[in-house]
Copies of this chain bind each other. A is one copy, B any other.
Amino acid sequence: MPLKANDPNRKTWIEITENSDFPIQNIPFGVFLTRDDIVTIGTRIGDTAIDLGALHQLGYFKGIPLTDDIFLQDTLNDFIADGRKTWRAVRDRIAEIFDENNVTLKNNKEHRTRVLFTLDEIEMQMPVQVGDYTDFYSSKEHATNVGTMFRDPDNALLPNWLHIPVGYHGRSSSIIPSGIPIHRPQGQKLPQGADEPIFGPSRLLDFELEMAFITTDSNQLGEPIPIEEAESYIFGMVLFNDWSARDIQKWEYVPLGPFLAKNFASSISPWIVTLDALEPFRVEGPKPEKELLPYLQTSGKKSFDINLEVGITPQKGEETIVSKSNFKYMYWNMSQQLAHHTVNGCPINSGDMLASGTISGPTPDSYGSMLELSWRGSKPIKLKNGEERKFIEDYDKVTMRGFCQNHQSRIGFGEVSTEVLPVFKPKK
């Protein structure tokens, strides 16, 4: 059954610029602070933010089983926990309310004033309280590049990589929305040739171009999610910058994995684009190179064609796009990741975030980290202002963007953009 809200022919009475990431077919979900300092759940059409809390109070969601305060919350966790049937009903209703042929809200000035905001009147917040955050390592190109640089070019992929969507647990408390600056982290590093570590600012600060999906409540402790049901537990996706300090990582990561090299910050785009909105952009992922165990076998279009790019804006000068990649390069798909994550009975909750791992493509200009783009610093990247970058410098702004495009429509994620400040100085 086609999704009503996805109707490519629908037009809206909200003004939209050409190539907007947020046509009426998108209807993402986010949380924002309004001009009245109220936190509310909202959506976005074009450059107009829509207060769903106000819409609900005004009766626009009548007939949909929703609690009165479902949108008057500072996270989407409870709404996401309501499940896919509810998400779809709400998205369909929003499409109707803003359809160009529907004048109910359009002609009600008082209601419009309460419901609609320009982007400069709002401040985006974290869309969910992330209970647990998992980071996968699911791009074969990325894993191969890293294995080549750090271990052995002839055995770049470890023996488990083609059998398991390798993943590890990350830190929820330091996931922040686009626009929040971060400080350059400090930590222990082992200088080249030294026996003893030193302490100081990371000199190899890096981004990782990733996407993350957000889940709903699903299984009980002990109960796996079968792979064929996995997608029904996925609410939507965001862009995800998995900040990484390569010098700290190299010294600390054996034998239990990355820790302080990652947990100082991860930045996300604030609008969650639903899996439903991405439906027209399904594609098949790469064919498995080894036969997979049955619990990981999928068929059909389980990946999505999402164009991705990363730009660096130095303190003085304009932005240079340093990478163009695509989500479809991922070797392991989200169904496989979720089925694997729960096959041992690990419970998944509403608002959990599962990131892809760095999304590197097959060509050097599609690599998803400075580590790979500058090949460990051996091939500096030229910026438009004449400067070079091996890694990220203080006051650089790193911006990631993503969108799907076909002949009928464009569904985008907006951006996640983060400035890097110097090392934190404690107040005296």
Contact = CB atoms under 8 A, between A and B. Distances in A.
Interface residues of A, number: 66
A224 B424 contact: yes
A232 to B, nearest CB: 16
B252 A160 contact: yes
Interface stretch (A65-73, A79-87, A182-190, A401-409): A182-190
B344 A168 contact: no
A279 to B, nearest CB: 28
Could you tell me the dominant secondary structure of chain A's interface residues? loop
Nearest to A421: B222
A251 interface: yes
Interface stretch (A53-61, A258-266, A310-318): A258-266
A285 to B, nearest CB: 20
Given A170-B169, A183-B345, A199-B293, A257 B255 contact: yes
Contacts of A248: 344
B221 A252 contact: no
Contacts of A221: 174, 176, 180, 182-183, 264-265
A424 to B, nearest CB: 4
A348 B173 CA distance: 7
Quickly give the copy total for this chain.
2
Contacts of A223: 424, 426
A343 B186 contact: yes
Given A223-B424, A293-B199, A424-B224, A168 B347 contact: no
A145 to B, nearest CB: 13
A1 interface: no
A132 interface: yes
A410 interface: no
A125 to B, nearest CB: 14
A171 B169 contact: yes
Interface in A160-211: 160, 163-164, 166-174, 176, 180, 182-183, 185-188, 190, 196-199
A341 interface: yes
Given A160-B251, A253-B255, A426-B223, A171 B260 contact: no
A299 B188 CA distance: 21
Central interface residue in A173, A183, A248, by most chain B CB within 10 Å? A173
Contacts of A182: 221-222, 345
A362 interface: no
A260 B197 contact: no
27 contacts: A131-B173, A132-B172, A160-B190, A163-B196, A168-B169, A168-B257, A168-B259, A173-B347, A173-B348, A173-B349, A185-B345, A186-B343, A186-B344, A196-B290, A198-B293, A221-B264, A221-B265, A222-B264, A222-B421, A248-B344, A253-B257, A256-B257, A257-B257, A257-B258, A260-B343, A260-B344, A264-B344
Given A159-B190, A174-B345, A260-B344, 12 more contacts: A131-B131, A160-B197, A163-B197, A164-B188, A166-B259, A168-B168, A168-B259, A169-B263, A173-B352, A187-B343, A260-B346, A264-B344
